[in-house]
């Protein structure tokens, strides 16, 4: 696959904004009169490192991915938006998404005026690779696969994903926001095999840092260069970069413990909800939420709301009629949920 044939011509031709600071690896022992900053020292008087080198080197160790193959953004939603702006020509190109899946791909597509082709997952929320390939044409630039999938919670079949990576003549984005709660290895291990692969991960879920806004994209160096060209020069603040560095060092062990207890709680909640006859089905989950089909989801939703328990109504998503998506909380929050539903 020739990457250049997938990139928007104006982006290929784009000369990135360059700051004098780009040329210096280190800003020690030099006098900085290049960026119209305020010279009086404070924690924030200087612009941040545009390429977040220190943070990337730590994330590189954590994830086992080369620093040159990492993009960091203001949440993975920034990476999603940039993927559209790099590859998709407004009003001409299209993207493919399985249905149901994460809603942000469609929102970003709509913002850029890009056609979305939704291809239904099977009743069990498995990929139908032939249907996906049949939906593509020469203007199909990106296929988004959310794995484990949101809102269904399941892992997609690994061989089906590989087949799509091989047969689709475009970019395949694998959004692994929930991979740390799953039994699956990350597709970052496959980056050497596929030059059309972009893996997204985030610190918002397993790491408990949704408020920080820090997401990652892993892909070939060639695609990273495109991200760097199109992103805002200083897209991550000094405070985000410093806080993330500290938190990654200090909270690695407690994050692993949290993930383990969320997975245990997920299985406990599944077992308890499984005993209730107001519930038709609980779908397999490799994430930190359960998709639950109720006999009467409106009654359940309203009762939960009345008890100040907020869950997500996904009943209008394809093949999700009657379904609520329930995030796994603390043991106390989970007990509260179970108690409230038992009282129905
Ligand atoms: C929560 C979630 C994200 C996270 O987005 P951030 O912008 O990093 O907070 C990404 N993808 C999916 C599928 C999600 O559910």
Q: How far, CA to CA in Å, does 339 sit from each of 288, 336, 344? A: 20, 5, 9
In contact, 132 and 96? CB cutoff 8 Å: yes
Q: Which of 117, 186, 193 is nearest to 147 (CA)?
A: 186
**Residue 290 main-chain phi, psi, to 5 deg:** -125, 135
Closest residue CA from atom 6 of ligand 1:
75
* 121 pLDDT above the threshold of 70: yes
Closest residue CA from atom 3 of ligand 1:
177
pTM of the model: 0.96
In contact, 6 and 87? CB cutoff 8 Å: yes
Pocket of ligand 1, candidates 177, 203, 214: which has the most ligand atoms within 8 Å of its Cβ, to mutate?
Answer: 177
Going from the Cα of 93 to the center of ligand 1, the distance in angstroms, rounded, reads 24
Query: Looking at the DSSP assignment, which residues form a beta bridge with residue 73?
Result: 215
How are beta strands 140-146 and 94-99 bridged, if at all?
parallel
pLDDT value for 17: 84
Q: Which of 16-20, 55-59, 180-184 has the lowest mean pLDDT?
A: 16-20
Categorize the per-residue pLDDT at 344 as very low, low, confident or very high, splitting at 50, 70 and 90. Answer: confident
pLDDT value for 217: 98
Q: Mean pLDDT across the chain, nearest whole number? A: 96
pLDDT value for 46: 93
pLDDT value for 24: 60
Categorize the per-residue pLDDT at 20 as very low, low, confident or very high, splitting at 50, 70 and 90. Answer: low
- Other C-beta atoms closer than 10 Å to the C-beta of 92 total 12
pLDDT value for 25: 64
* 107 pLDDT above the threshold of 70: yes
Residues 22-38: pLDDT tens digits?
766 666 788 999 999 99
Mean local confidence (pLDDT), 235-259: 96
Q: Which residue has the higher pLDDT, 29 or 50?
A: 50
Going from the Cα of 204 to the center of ligand 1, the distance in angstroms, rounded, reads 7
CA distance 228 to 225: 5
Q: Please name the residue ranges forming H helices in 190-251.
A: 221-230, 238-250
Give the strand order in the sheet containing 197-202: 70-73, 215-218, 197-202, 171-175, 140-146, 94-99, 115-120
* 271 pLDDT above the threshold of 80: yes
Pocket of ligand 1, candidates 72, 99, 202: which has the most ligand atoms within 8 Å of its Cβ, to mutate?
Answer: 202
* 100 pLDDT above the threshold of 80: yes
| 94 C-beta closer than 6 A to ligand 1 | no
Categorize the per-residue pLDDT at 126 as very low, low, confident or very high, splitting at 50, 70 and 90. Answer: very high
């Amino acid at each position: 696959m020739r990457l250049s044939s997938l990139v928007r011509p104006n982006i290929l031709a784009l000369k990135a904004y360059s700051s004098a600071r780009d040329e210096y690896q280190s800003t020690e022992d030099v006098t900085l009169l290049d960026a119209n900053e305020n010279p009086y020292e404070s924690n924030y008087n200087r612009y941040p490192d545009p390429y977040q080198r220190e943070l990337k080197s730590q994330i590189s160790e954590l994830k086992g991915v080369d620093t040159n193959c990492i993009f960091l953004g203001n949440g993975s939603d920034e990476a999603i938006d940039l993927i559209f702006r790099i590859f998709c020509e407004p009003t001409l190109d299209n993207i493919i998404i399985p249905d149901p899946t994460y809603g942000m791909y469609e929102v970003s597509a709509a913002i850029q005026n890009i056609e979305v082709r939704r291809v239904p997952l099977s009743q069990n929320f498995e990929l139908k690779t032939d249907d996906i390939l049949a939906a593509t044409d020469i203007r199909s630039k990106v296929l988004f696969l959310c794995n484990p999938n949101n809102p269904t919670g399941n892992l997609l079949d690994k061989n089906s994903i590989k087949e799509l990576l091989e047969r689709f003549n475009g970019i395949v984005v694998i959004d692994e926001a929930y991979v740390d709660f799953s039994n699956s290895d990350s597709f970052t291990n496959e980056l050497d095999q596929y030059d059309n692969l972009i893996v997204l991960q985030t610190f918002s879920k397993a790491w408990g840092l949704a408020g920080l806004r820090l997401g990652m994209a892993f892909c070939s160096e060639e695609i990273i260069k495109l991200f760097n060209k199109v992103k805002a020069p200083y897209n991550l603040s000094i405070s985000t970069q410093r806080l993330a560095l500290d938190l990654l060092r200090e909270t690695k062990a407690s994050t692993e413990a949290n993930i383990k207890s969320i997975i245990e709680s997920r299985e406990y909640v599944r077992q308890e909800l499984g005993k209730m006859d107001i519930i038709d089905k609980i779908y397999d989950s490799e994430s930190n939420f359960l998709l639950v089909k109720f006999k009467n989801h409106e009654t359940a939703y309203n009762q939960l709301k009345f008890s100040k328990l907020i869950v997500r109504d996904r009943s209008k998503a394809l093949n999700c009629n009657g379904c609520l998506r329930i995030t796994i909380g603390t043991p106390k929050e989970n007990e509260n949920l179970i108690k409230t539903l038992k009282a129905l």
